[in-house]
Amino acid sequence: MRPEGVSDATVGALGTLSEALEAVEAARGHLYAFHRLCGTADLTLGDAVEKLREAGHGDLADRVADELVGRNVLHGRWSFQIVEDYDDHYWSAFREIERAAREELVQGRRHLYESEMKEDRRTHGRPHHESRPDDVVEA
């Protein structure tokens, strides 16, 4: 429920800020997927090096081992360092500012815009259209 005196413009602005945070959260998920795929690739390269050696291709195995296994994915960084930098310098700051804005403007309430949209769009009194999980509507 919207705190008394909060304008539609404020609810809309916080909704847009929340939407931006959701995009940042999705980007973070992709970044973690990138991190995991890079790690898998590096470990799989180790297997490829062994198989190349077993197949009699020692020179190529040496090149793969020397040039690719353990290589930085960005200058000076493995993927975990990219994730850490993102978390420490962007994601955490974004989350803190979004939270502070909610605290300052709407007593910390989350997803106020969506909550009001739900109230407007749902069929009141109908099963599976409850306002909250504890609002039970008998069929």
Q: How many CB atoms lie within 10 A of CB 55?
A: 10
Structure tokens at 31: 């970044």
Domain spans of the chain?
8-43+77-118
Q: For residue 126, what pLDDT is reported?
A: 87
Q: What is the pLDDT of residue 13?
A: 97
- Helix-helix angle 8-54:58-67, to 10 degrees: 150
Give the length of the chain. 139
**CA nearest 21: which of 111, 134, 136, 116?**
111
Gap between the Cα atoms of 135 and 129, Å rounded: 9
Question: Against a cut of 0.85, is the pTM above it?
Answer: no
**Token pair of 131 as six digits:** 């306002």
Q: What is the mean pLDDT of residues 113-121?
A: 90
At residue 137 the predicted structure's pLDDT band, cuts being 50, 70 and 90, is: low
Is the backbone of residue 114 left (phi > 0), alpha (psi -120 to 50) or beta? alpha
**In percent, how much of the chain has pLDDT > 70?**
97
SS3 content of the chain, % helix, strand, coil (to 5): 70, 0, 30
Alpha-carbon span 104 to 98, nearest angstrom = 10
CA angle 35, 38, 44 (to 5 degrees): 140
